[in-house]
Amino acid sequence: MKVIIVGGGIMGLSIALELRKADDLEVMVLEKSIPGAEASSAAAGMLAPQFEATGPGPMFDLTLLSRMAWPKFAATLEERSGVAVDYLPCGGLQVAFTDDEVHALDAKISWQKAQGLRAELLSGDELFAREPKLNPKALAAADLPDDHQVNPRQLLRALAIAATKAGVGFKSGTVRALVETGGTVTGVDVDGEVLGADVVVLAAGAWSGLVSGAEVDPGRVKPVRGQMVELQLRAPIFTRLLKSAGGYLVPRADGRVVAGSTMEMVGFDKNVTAEGLQKVLAASIQLVPELAGAAVTSTWAGLRPWTDDQLPFLGEGPKPGLLLATGHFRNGILLAPITARLIGQLVRHEKVSVDLKPFRYRRNSP
């Protein structure tokens, strides 16, 4: 059986690798730029369902399942590629600077604890004992010790190497359209060349609504720009992920700090702007005032694949022969292991281990 994957971001590469775990499938990834060039390498690399969640539900459950899969996913990838992906079990603090934010954290901790998760409200001495460099104006924080991080650029390198070693084929080019026979997708048109496939997986991130013939409504998948800043300290001065209402900080082990991020619907514009940088830096300095003296070593922006209800599209697409693995918005790095597993099960016609109804493309129809 031949599988074509449109898009070589974290989704496309993770799925390709999963599909090549046995020799039964021929797998080809089609990428218009270079693998990992877009949102996936722009990400901060937080593996943080508890940080990110706004409430319980199928999306939260999916992110927790994926977080559980991460240690093995990272270890296997390192073994297969020889590249360290810097999976770091660092934990996180979600910090409140106002009374309203403290109440919101309290509520979040309650529903997360009710699900059996570790979460605790810290204030005063307890808080500053954990992270002494935190702004003394912080009133409290949710301690979320099971949210972690990985280095997305290393990760994407590792995935590309592991996929190549596993026998995944790569082709550069833009998929202009899907090709169909009698209403079933049977291949793709890549820069005018037709390639046949038994299954096509659309993993084109923010561009997923632009592939002609896929019938993915461009109004349901849109790019949301995120601007990022990398700061360099001589040595790390805090070790946990830190998040506030204004932004977040991801401390790498070597003293770099990745600071993010804006959420802007500005089409496919990937510029870094003065206003964007100002927002990210202000939030960073509010969290850890000492960062005011840190060197700015890099800035960039990426396009998150947003969906209209902020749930990904996973599984059967609008047409037979087409599977979707897109719309992971703010959590695509976190969701890679579970997405790859589920798409692998669908391609192989195995029992699917998660109820995909909330994530299917036509979720509003019976």
For residue 204, which of 3, 80, 330, 30 has the smallest C-alpha distance? 30
43 near ligand FAD, judged by CB under 6 A: yes
> For residue 221, what is the enclosing H or E element?
strand 221-232
31 near ligand FAD, judged by CB under 6 A: yes
Question: What does the DSSP assignment read for 276-293?
Answer: HHHHHHHHHHHH-GGGGG
- By DSSP bridging, strand 169-172 and strand 26-31 are parallel
Q: Which of 333, 342, 343, 346 binds ligand FAD (CB under 6 A)?
A: 333
* Stretch in the footprint of ligand FAD (CB under 6 A) among 25-33, 71-79, 90-98, 101-109: 25-33
Q: Which is nearer to ligand FAD, 6 or 197 (CB)?
A: 6
First to last CA, the chain: 31
β-pair partners for 260? 228, 248
Residues 6+ apart with CB under 8 A from 65: 338, 354
Task: Write the interaction track for ligand FAD spanning residues 47-76; mark x where CB under 6 A is met and - where it is not.
Answer: ------------------------------
SS3 349: coil
Report the site for ligand FAD in 293-332 (rule: CB under 6 A). Answer: 302, 304-305, 326, 328-332
Q: Which of 3, 4, 5, 10 binds ligand FAD (CB under 6 A)?
A: 10
CB of 196 to ligand FAD, least distance (A): 17
Report the site for ligand FAD in 242-261 (rule: CB under 6 A). Answer: 260-261
148 near ligand FAD, judged by CB under 6 A: no
Residues 6+ apart with CB under 8 A from 100: none
What's at 257, amino acid-wise? V
β-pair partners for 120? 143
Give the total of residues touching ligand FAD (CB under 6 A).
Answer: 43
* Stretch in the footprint of ligand FAD (CB under 6 A) among 4-12, 125-133, 162-170, 343-351: 4-12
Residues that bind ligand FAD (CB under 6 A): 6-12, 30-33, 37-40, 42-46, 174-175, 203-207, 211, 226, 228, 260-261, 302, 304-305, 326, 328-334
